[in-house]
Chains A and B, each alone.
Chain A
Amino acid sequence: MERNPLRRQLQIMRKSLFDQGYLDEQFVQLEELQDDSNPNFVEEVVTLYYRDSARLILNLEQALERKPYNFNKLDAYMHQFKGSSSSIGAKKVKAESTLFREYCKSGNGEGCMRCFQQLKKEYATLRKKLEAYFQLARQAGPMETACRPK
């Protein structure tokens, strides 16, 4: 058990992110790539993800405003988005992406729209949680050992 209370809190927060299904194994891979020579790798990747995926979200929004829906285009955007999201281990976001693509394939515009709203919610929620997590991590100071899966 971490003696440092901040560290402990960080561990708890991290665990809950996994338990609640926000993050998956891929996030652990990111953590494993973080080391002394690359001390902020995880945060860097996540930051990059949010920055770049904002563009994709915008594209999707715009595409969903044009009726009739161009499902191919929507699917293509979502495919990209899904790839990014899976790279950081964003589990719920990825699940919504998959669902969205299903709707696209079946031409279900309503489904796409609903799914997209849900996806945006998950996306925003995850972002907040990760921001809090990184902030705490910075406060808690560098880890003594490499991050290990729980």
Chain B
Amino acid sequence: MTVERIVSERKDQFPVGMRVLAVDDDPTCLLLLETLLRRCQYHVTTTSQAITALKMLRENKNKFDLVISDVHMPDMDGFKLLELVGLEMDLPVIMLSANGDTKLVMKGITHGACDYLLKPVRIEELKNIWQHVVRRKKFDRKDRNNSDSQDKPHADSGGEAAGIGNADNNVKVNKKRKDQNEDEDEDRDEDGHDNDDPSTQKKPRVVWSVELHRKFVAAVNQLGIDKAVPKRILELMNVEKLTRENVASHLQKFRLYLKRISCVANQQANMVAALGTADSSYLRMGSLNGLGNFHALAGTDQFHNAAFRSFPPSGVLGRLNTPAGLGIRGLPSPGTIPLGHVQNSGHSSNDPSKLQSFIPGNHNANILQGMPMSLELDQLQNNKGVSHIGELPVANSTSVFPVPGSLMDARITGFSNNPILGVTSNSLMLEGSSQQTALHARNLRDGVSAIGFQNGNTLSDFASIDPVSHQLRDSKADLQGQAASINCNAGQIMTRVPQEWNSSIPANGAMIQLDQCLDQNNSIFHRTMDSDSMGPLNFGDPLSIKHSEANNSAMEPSVIGKEGYLMYQSRTQGNHIPDNIGSLEDLASAMMKQDQDNGKPTYGSFGHNSYSHRTCI
């Protein structure tokens, strides 16, 4: 009783009493920070060691609402801590540094920081940090509600191919979940012990460890994204003490994440298009993409339903080839094109060189190149334009190559805009065309990691791409590097990867799920992964891409290096900063290496099989 009262009081008075964990090796700064935070009426815990901080956080996930950490620390790099916290605990993390270099700030965002403050910190700045907690919570709920509604159509369409029973169950479950969410939103006070935790759930939070997420992704992969219902996933995963609800909510986030990634891809494509490169290749890509998109549509949850219904392949193609579409797509989507080409020419050998050509020169370019994914966003709908996220100009896309710089830039921007970029890097490979399918199949087998992201949420979904585990590792690094270099032109599409995905997606056997970013744009993006060129998108570490719905327009992809996860964090303020520079570059280089290492396509696009099924539907 008392506990409840305290808890509800705390919640009611939020942000008063918000529990902050402050980490800084400098005792002067730490004392100052602590005092400032106390003055803001937060509840403060301090430590001068990152390792201690992690331990505290791991001990009890629900003990803190927010983490503030210095960047330069002796025992652990602040960015590393940031990633780990984001992945494991899904808490908002604010970075602190005396160094306000744009690069560093970008890196912070890339790695998932929800804010970056300069020392000496002023109290005015700290007075508002609670917004990050609220934002994350809100987006989480919003996404969940969206997911619920999306699940319904999903269930409907799934019913065609899958058992009707599942669909029905889904629908019921969805409704139930929606109610629950609503109830939770309204009656948090009654929930009890977890109430003061913004992203509270009724049950103790399940930590989606790397292993767990890997199983999850494998299960979804096996079932096919459109047929992946929580019950079946749960069965396949066969994990004790995991409830169907845990799986369901994780699945929602995952789908949202994929969606967000596609949106990012859209934006990226827009940017790329703006650069206006290689129209011809674009066209080619368009055709490829058209099919791909279709497939992509099929792949993603929301998407495929809509896609199938509303976008017939011809339509997609048509759209792709429209002047507007072309214009936007100015930048060829290397990803799509390459597939075809790659296959024909035995690109694998070519790719590495091509990749190399791109990567080295251009900082930015690396990012994109590193990412094999090429996202094609169907212009659709709401997006500003079809954005093709051309990843790696693969092999024969000579047109793509000529302007590697611009290509890269475009891509980068795309990335920054699209959380999907992060995703694109590895996993996106939707095979549209038969050629692509072949590639995809291979990619899929390689174990594309699932990319999940939440739309507009601070939740972070990550895509773990791991066609080849080792490859991923390399690519991951590259990707990270690349991500970092992505610069959002427009302002930034910054997707912040909400640290929803606690576990990093294991490199192996991760599947990439492309979820369509339905978010505002409702664009269907087609990610084609050119196995050869992209293959390398292996991320050493999962990169989770988080897409913040709030910032559809401004998202910054932040790449968090973790096994195969590309994380994007979206900034609500729509700031610039493309993050992930570091990681993307790394990824790019990793990918390059991988290309060299593996002749064959490295990434399996997830759900290739399922996608193809879908197209047949």
Binding site for B on A (CB under 8 A): 26, 29-30, 32-33, 38, 41, 44-45, 48-49, 52-53, 76, 79-80, 82-84, 86-89
Contact = CB atoms under 8 A, between A and B. Distances in A.
A33 B26 CA distance: 19
Given A41-B35, A76-B72, A80-B72, A52 B119 contact: no
A86 B36 contact: no
Interface in B101-123: 119-120, 122-123
Contacts of B36: 33
B239 interface: no
Given A45-B31, A52-B26, A87 B119 contact: yes
Contacts of A49: 28
Central interface residue in A29, A76, A89, by most chain B CB within 10 Å: A29
22 contacts: A33-B35, A38-B35, A44-B31, A45-B28, A45-B35, A49-B28, A79-B72, A80-B98, A83-B29, A83-B72, A83-B97, A83-B98, A83-B119, A83-B120, A84-B26, A84-B28, A84-B29, A86-B98, A86-B119, A87-B26, A87-B32, A89-B120
Nearest to B74: A80
Contacts of A48: 27-28, 31
B131 interface: no
Contacts of A82: 98
Interface in B28-50: 28-29, 31-32, 35-36, 39
A26 B120 contact: yes
B99 interface: yes
A18 to B, nearest CB: 16
A79 B97 CA distance: 10
Contacts of B28: 45, 48-49, 52-53, 84, 87-88
Central interface residue in A41, A76, A83, A88, by most chain B CB within 10 Å: A83
Nearest to B70: A83
A53 B26 CA distance: 9
Given A79-B98, A84-B28, 8 more contacts: A26-B120, A30-B32, A33-B39, A48-B31, A53-B28, A86-B119, A87-B28, A87-B120
A7 B212 CA distance: 65
Contacts of B26: 52, 80, 83-84, 87
Nearest to A32: B123
Nearest to B123: A29
Contacts of A44: 31
Interface of B: 26-29, 31-32, 35-36, 39, 72, 97-99, 119-120, 122-123
Q: Which 7 A-B pairs have the closest CB atoms?
A: A83-B98, A49-B28, A87-B120, A84-B28, A86-B120, A33-B35, A87-B29
Contacts of A30: 32
A44 B72 CA distance: 23
Nearest to A30: B32
Nearest to A84: B28
A140 to B, nearest CB: 23
Nearest to B35: A33
Contacts of B122: 29
Contacts of B120: 26, 29, 83, 86-87, 89
A106 B123 CA distance: 35
A80 B97 CA distance: 9
Contacts of A38: 35
Contacts of A87: 26, 28-29, 32, 119-120
Contacts of A80: 26, 72, 98
B404 to A, nearest CB: 30
Contacts of B29: 83-84, 87
Contacts of A53: 28
A42 to B, nearest CB: 10
Nearest to A47: B28
B126 to A, nearest CB: 11
Central interface residue in B29, B35, B120, by most chain A CB within 10 Å: B120
Contacts of A83: 26, 29, 72, 97-98, 119-120
Nearest to B25: A80
A27 to B, nearest CB: 10
B450 to A, nearest CB: 39
B360 to A, nearest CB: 24
B38 to A, nearest CB: 9
Contacts of A26: 120
A117 B120 CA distance: 24
B95 to A, nearest CB: 13
Contact of B27 (A41, A52, A86, A89): A52
B253 to A, nearest CB: 37
B27 to A, nearest CB: 5
A149 to B, nearest CB: 14
Contacts of A89: 120
Nearest to B98: A83
Nearest to A53: B28
B69 to A, nearest CB: 14
Contacts of A84: 26, 28-29
Nearest to B32: A87
A88 B120 CA distance: 8
A28 to B, nearest CB: 11
Nearest to A50: B28
Contacts of B97: 83
Nearest to B122: A29
Contacts of A33: 32, 35-36, 39, 123
Contacts of B72: 76, 79-80, 83
Contacts of B98: 79-80, 82-83, 86
A94 to B, nearest CB: 10
A93 B35 CA distance: 23
A81 to B, nearest CB: 9
B370 to A, nearest CB: 26
B119 A45 contact: no
Nearest to A52: B27
Nearest to A26: B120
Nearest to B24: A83
Contacts of A88: 28, 32
A76 to B, nearest CB: 7
A79 B31 contact: no
A84 B32 CA distance: 10
A44 B122 CA distance: 18
B484 to A, nearest CB: 20
Contacts of B99: 79
B48 to A, nearest CB: 10
Contacts of A52: 26-28
